[in-house]
Amino acid sequence: MHGGKAGAPKGKRNGNWKHGGETNEAVARRSAARELLRKVREYA
């Protein structure tokens, strides 16, 4: 098994972390916005 449980560290400890656009908070915020838009379109 190559790598096993290893992998890149989360967040700022990962050298590729630039702007936070893929943080758990940002992903959850986009998901909530999509759900809200879905509901608005359904009732419109």
Encode pLDDT of 1-44 as tens digits: 566 677 777 767 777 667 778 788 989 999 999 999 999 999 97
Which one, of 21, 40, 18, lies nearest residue 29 by Cα?
A: 21
End-to-end CA distance of the chain: 52
pLDDT score at 7: 76
Which one, of 4, 23, 3, lies nearest residue 12 by Cα?
A: 23
Contact in structure between 14 and 8 (CB atoms under 8 Å): yes
Taking the model in full, what pTM does it have?
Answer: 0.57
pLDDT score at 17: 66
Alpha-carbon span 23 to 10, nearest angstrom: 9
